[in-house]
Amino acid sequence: QVQLVESGGGVVQPGKSLRLSCAASGFTFSSYAMHWVRQAPGKGLEWVALISKDGSNKFYADSVKGRFTISRDNSKNTLYLQMNSLRAEDTAVYYCARDQTTGTNLDYWGQGTLVTVSS
Partner 1 sequence: QSVLTQPPSVSAAPGQKVTISCSGSSSNIGNNYVSWYQQLPGTAPKLLIYDNNKRPSGIPDRFSGSKSGTSATLGITGLQTGDEADYYCGTWDSSLTTWVFGGGTKLTVL
**What are the residues binding partner 1 (CB under 8 A)?**
35, 37, 44-47, 50, 59-62, 95, 97, 100, 103-112
Distance between CA atoms of residues 42 and 19, nearest Å: 23
CB of 70 vs partner 1, minimal distance in Å? 12
Measured from the CB atom, the residue of 75 and 104 that comes closer to partner 1 is: 104
Asked if residue 13 lies in contact with residue 32, where contact means CB atoms within 8 angstroms, the answer is: no
Q: What angle (nearest 5°) sits at the alpha carbon of residue 108, between those of residues 82 and 94?
A: 30
CB of 99 vs partner 1, minimal distance in Å? 9
Q: What angle (nearest 5°) sits at the alpha carbon of residue 61, between those of residues 4 and 87?
A: 85
Measured from the CB atom, the residue of 18 and 106 that comes closer to partner 1 is: 106
CB of 114 vs partner 1, minimal distance in Å? 12
Measured from the CB atom, the residue of 64 and 117 that comes closer to partner 1 is: 64
CB of 30 vs partner 1, minimal distance in Å? 21
Tell me the CA distances in angstroms from 46 to 56, 62, 67, one per residue in order: 23, 11, 16
